[in-house]
Structure 1
Amino acid sequence: IREGYWWISYDNGTNWTQLGKATGEDGKDADSIKITQDENNVYFELADGTVITISKTGQSADPNVIQFEDLYVKNICLNNWDNNNDGELSYDEAANVPTIGLIFSGNKNIQNFNELQYFTGITTIDDKAFYGCDNLRTIIIPQNVKTIGYRAFYCLNNEPYGFPSSLAFISLPEGLTSIGQGAFQYCDFLKSITIPASVTLIGPYGLSFKAENIYFKSTNPPTISDENSEGGQVGTIVGVTSTKVYVPRNSIEQYKAITHLNTREIIGYDFE
């Protein structure tokens, strides 16, 4: 425990990864830890749902097997795609998954799914794929994904009233081309997001949340769809006027001309 958080190293101390917040005194968490085990590992589940896996043998993890941070995510993946029934998901098994469909939709237990990046056979994040996953905090989208569907990360608690989802970090692939209607609506903890230069289309309310900073990398602004599948007034892609939008310096005027970019501040930015 350091600075109030659990830290773990998977390479004998060379690199350290910050996990969940520690709730007890330094060095112990008392009854807030749930401990389970199987033949190979001991699992320490923290109060916030973070799972730390310790090998019983002391041997390094199998380099062909994905090391999941979130035990709930791992169990879902194993139940659906562990083709050889060895109790682990290999990188090859993940790469052969064509779609995740609605397997995770509505699951309020999952918190971290950065391992989704290894599902390289996926080209679309389906409509409502993570709809209602109110406690999902971080996720990395696979590099081959071209489309994020309708309400893919929409928070169910907001129907009609409730709390925003916990999503605070998402990594979008450089090859992404479209973001569907309401894809990130009510993801109010997502304070910063970078839209790859490859994105050419964003649906109504596609980025409607309380972001502090949104970065558009394309010199040509994406098209903002005016087709609202639910009828009524077309929503803005940025729902809060205090949001700062960063765009390539030579494209400021083009972005200012976007009707549905409801923001007061568009700032020139030098992208690498």
Structure 2
Amino acid sequence: MDLTTFSIKAKLIREWDNQHFLTATKEVHLLIPSVIMTSTSNPEVFAVCRYNGWSANESFMTEIEAASVGDINVAFRGNTMKSFDEFRYFTGVTAIAKDAFNSCSLMERITLPDTIKSVGSSAFLAALS
């Protein structure tokens, strides 16, 4: 199981005796099991996942949610993603449709899930720079 770390930094400034200020800073590291992607870690891919209803949370997507996707069809066609390593968690996908990643001209890498049995023609046309 992969773990995603998040850092939260909070700063409290409180007035004390009308002249002095008390400042306290606390940093907390959170480990959230099974989060594979956040809205900031891969925003182009995450936006497609949210739009298609594959992610219930507006900030992150879990491994379970990714595994429940059965067909991506052409949802990512023309996307400006640079990478899609999180695709390896989309284990419900068994085929990559024709033109699925067509015109993803900025994409440098993708990690396919082990469940892929077929790749449609022109699935990666004008993709993978």
TM over 0.5: yes
Q: Which residue of 2 aligns with 1:135?
A: 106
Measure the CA separation in 1 of the matches of 2:101 and 2:48.
13
Find out whether 1:59 has 2:29 as its counterpart: yes
Which structure's relative contact order is higher, taking Cα pairs within 8 Å and 6+ residues apart?
2
Q: Take 2:109 and 2:42, find their aligned partners in 1: how far apart are those partners?
A: 11
User: Which contiguous aligned blocks of 4+ residues in structure 1 show a shift greater than 4 angstroms?
Assistant: none
Please name the residue that 1:99 is paired with: 71
Structure ranking higher in strand proportion: 2
Aligned equivalent of 1:35: none
Query: In structure 2, do the counterparts of structure 1 residues 131 and 65 end up closer, same or farther at CA, with 3 Å as the change threshold?
Result: same
Q: What is aligned with 2:16? A: none
Does the 8 A contact of 1:78 with 1:88 survive in 2? no
Once the two structures are aligned, what percentage of the paired residues are identical? 33
Q: CA deviation at 1:55?
A: 2.7
Q: Tell me the SS of whatever aligns to 2:65.
A: helix
User: How big is the shift at 1:60?
Assistant: 2.7
Are 2:56 and 1:87 equivalent residues in the alignment?
A: no
Using the size of structure 1 for normalisation, the TM-score is: 0.36
In structure 1, how many angstroms separate the alpha carbons of the residues matched to 2:7 and 2:115?
Answer: 33
1:73-123 CA-to-partner distances (Å, cap 9, x unmatched) read 1222122211x335321111110000111111012x211100000000000
Query: Over residues 132-151 of structure 1, what are the superposed CA-to-partner deviations in whole Å (9 max), with x where a residue is unaligned?
Result: 01001110011000001110
- Corresponding residue SS for 2:110: strand
**Partner of residue 118 from structure 2, selected from 147, 162, 187:** 147
CA contact 1:78–1:87 (8 Å) conserved in 2:
no
Map 1:214-225; keep pairs closer than 5 Å: none
Q: Are the equivalent residues in 2 in contact too, given 1:123–1:146 (CA < 8 A)? A: yes
The answer to whether 1:123 aligns with 2:94 is yes
Structure 1 residue 154: Cα displacement: 0.3
| Residue of structure 2 equivalent to 1:204 | none
Amino acid at match of 1:63: P
> Structure 1, residues 11-69: CA drift from partner, whole Å, max 9, x if none?
7xxxxxxxxxxxxxxxxxxxxxxxxxxxxxxxxxxxxxxxxxx6325323411211354
**Counterpart secondary structure, 1:89:** strand
Give the SS at the match of 1:62: strand
**Partner Cα distance (1:74, 1:128) in 2:** 19
Question: Does residue 1:71 correspond to 2:43, yes or no?
Answer: yes
Q: Is the 8 A contact 1:131 1:152 kept in 2?
A: yes
